[in-house]
């Protein structure tokens, strides 16, 4: 299905800090929304790198439900009520992130960082309200194919969809979701440009085929240089290729720090959503993350919201005001330097 033409433009940020249950910033809403009938919507809840092994596992010590407890309302949309949001009751919520730790008992197959976590850690992801996790990253095969298969099985047993690299996965496994409820039909694709260079032409072809099947294509991609505060030329080039192919939203991760959010043509691109849950103690920016909620109605982005977060001793929390301001600045969402949703 072809999605309606939608024009995005960069401009002044109209959002303000709002006192929800969590510190958040509303990034924008379409000026076309005023006076028109409300229609079914879907909100994609985007987060960055999640690692449940090493120090995180030690800190939680089996209390997996504590990992995302403080931000679950934002991940699941539970914070939306009829008194606080026009989206209550009509917006599906679909939450996903990038899983950096294989959930497996299989032994590591290579030297280097060992980010494996026990399969029981899926309880943290299930309790957090995640619907899908990307396994298209440079740590997916830390325990070999056996570890990857066990990870995918653990996620599926927990009711969570594993997203594999779609340049390799069979296209027959891409049924659009959401249409049965009347919301925009969407397909999610995952790619990796870190373990080996991404075949950009094949990835763009996959996006194009998905765009022909659904109203909305959301891309999760692992890319970029570690600890780089700005996207590389290659990230920007890949974003343009995938945007031109029909992606509506591109959620990036991999640098372990935040990078800016911007429009690329009609596509909303978050180059890096940072570390959502990790055990890296320094620099402080490695503990910064964000929950980015992108609402789509009628095949176009109509609202974007951001919740600045920090990872502390195995738990994700809303950032304090000082860090929240720094996080929004890094994302380019502060003051007048923000994403604006135009007509």
**Residue 4 domain-assigned (yes or no):** no
Give residue 335's pLDDT. Answer: 52
Q: Give residue 8's pLDDT band: very low, low, confident or very high (50, 70, 90).
A: very low
pLDDT, average across residues 130-139? 95
The model's confidence at residue 14, banded by pLDDT at 50, 70 and 90, is: very low
Place of tokens 């022909």: 212
pLDDT range class, residue 24, cuts 50, 70, 90: very low
The gap from C-alpha 210 to its chain's centroid, in whole angstroms, comes to 18
- Residue 92 has a pLDDT of 84
Residue 93, in any domain of the structure: yes
pLDDT digits (tens, 9 = 90+) for 225-256: 999 999 999 999 999 999 999 999 999 999 99
DSSP string, 227-280: T-SS--HHHHHHHHHHHHHT-SEEEEE-SSSB--EEEETTEEEES-BBEEE---
Number of domains forming the structure of the chain: 1
Binning pLDDT at 50, 70 and 90, where does residue 181 land?
A: low
CB 330 within 8 A of CB 253: no
pLDDT score recorded for residue 81? 59
Instruction: Inform me whether the pLDDT recorded for 343 exceeds 60.
Output: no
Tokens matching residue 4: 């309606």
Whether 1 maps to a domain, the answer reads no
Q: Is residue 29 part of a domain?
A: yes
Q: Which residue has the higher pLDDT, 16 or 342?
A: 342
| pLDDT of the residue at 28 | 47
**Sign, CA torsion 42/47/49/54:** negative
In-domain check, residue 211: yes
pLDDT at 111: 87
Work out the pLDDT band at 18, boundaries 50, 70, 90: very low
Determine the Cα–Cα distance for residues 205 and 142; give it in Å rounded to an integer: 28
Q: Is there a contact between 275 and 301 (Cβ–Cβ < 8 Å)?
A: no
- Read off the pLDDT of residues 296-331 as tens digits, 9 standing for 90 and up: 988 889 889 999 999 999 999 999 999 999 999 999
Within-domain flag for 3: no
CATH number at residue 59: 3.60.21.10
- Contact present, 226 and 256 (Cβ < 8 Å): yes
Least confident of 154-168, 214-228, 265-279, 293-307: 154-168
pLDDT tens digits, one per residue of 139-167: 999 999 999 999 999 999 999 999 988 65
Banded pLDDT at 39 (limits 50, 70, 90): low
Strand partners, 72: none
pLDDT at 85 over 90: no
d(CA 170, CA 185): 19
- 51 lies in some domain: yes
- Alpha carbons 223 and 330: distance in angstroms, whole number: 18
Helix (H) or strand (E) holding 290: strand 288-297
The vertex-292 CA angle with 287 and 293, nearest 5°, equals: 155
Nearest Cα neighbor of 8 from 330, 247, 169, 315 is 247
Give the containing element (helix H, strand E) for 109. none
Both tokens assigned to 8: 């995005």
pLDDT at 89: 56
C-alpha dist (Å) from residue 135 to 25, 55, 78, 132: 29, 21, 26, 10
Q: Has residue 223 been placed in a domain?
A: yes
| CA–CA distance, 252 with 187 (Å, rounded to integer) | 16
Q: In this predicted structure, what is the pLDDT of residue 158? A: 96
Q: What is the pLDDT of residues 101-122, one digit of tens each?
A: 999 999 999 888 999 999 999 9
> Of 265, 233, 305, which Cα lies nearest the Cα of 23?
305
Pairwise pLDDT comparison (35 vs 280), residue with the higher score: 280
Q: Cα separations (Å) of 328 from 22, 120, 261? A: 15, 34, 10
What pLDDT sits at residue 17? 29
Q: 312: domain range?
A: 9-340
- Alpha-carbon Rg for the chain, nearest whole angstrom, is 18
What mean pLDDT, rounded, does the chain reach? 83
Paired with 340 in beta bridges are: 9
């Amino acid at each position: 299905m072809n999605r309606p033409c939608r024009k995005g433009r960069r401009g002044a940020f109209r959002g303000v800090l709002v006192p929800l249950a969590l510190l958040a910033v509303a990034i924008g809403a379409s000026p076309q929304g005023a006076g028109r009938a409300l229609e079914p919507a879907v909100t994609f809840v985007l987060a960055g790198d999640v690692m449940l092994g090493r120090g995180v596992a030690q800190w939680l010590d089996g209390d997996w439900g504590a990992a995302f407890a403080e931000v679950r309302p934002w991940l699941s949309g539970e914070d939306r009520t009829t008194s606080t949001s026009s989206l209550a009751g009509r917006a599906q919520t679909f939450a996903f992130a990038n899983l950096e730790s294989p959930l497996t008992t299989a032994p590591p197959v290579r030297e280097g960082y060992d980010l494996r976590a026990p399969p029981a850690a899926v309880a943290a992801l299930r309790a957090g309200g995640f619907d899908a996790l990307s396994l298209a990253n440079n740590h997916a095969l830390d325990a070999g194919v056996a570890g990857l298969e066990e990870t995918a099985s653990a996620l599926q047993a927990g009711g969570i969809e594993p997203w594999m690299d779609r340049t390799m996965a069979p296209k027959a496994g891409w049924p659009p979701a959401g249409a049965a409820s009347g919301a925009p039909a969407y397909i999610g694709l995952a790619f990796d440009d870190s373990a080996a260079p991404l075949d950009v032409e094949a990835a763009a072809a996959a996006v194009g085929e998905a765009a022909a099947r659904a109203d909305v294509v959301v891309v999760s991609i692992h890319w970029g240089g570690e600890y780089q505060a700005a996207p590389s030329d290659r990230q920007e080039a890949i974003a343009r290729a995938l945007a031109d192919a029909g992606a509506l939203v591109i959620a990036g991760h991999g640098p372990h720090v935040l990078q800016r959010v911007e429009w690329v043509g009609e596509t909303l691109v978050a180059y890096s959503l940072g570390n959502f849950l990790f055990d890296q103690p320094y620099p402080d920016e490695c503990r910064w993350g964000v929950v980015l909620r992108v609402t789509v109605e009628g095949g176009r982005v109509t609202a974007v919201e951001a919740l600045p977060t920090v990872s502390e001793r195995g738990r994700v929390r809303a950032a304090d005001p000082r860090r929240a301001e720094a996080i929004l600045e890094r994302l380019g969402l502060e003051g007048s330097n923000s994403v604006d949703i135009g007509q």
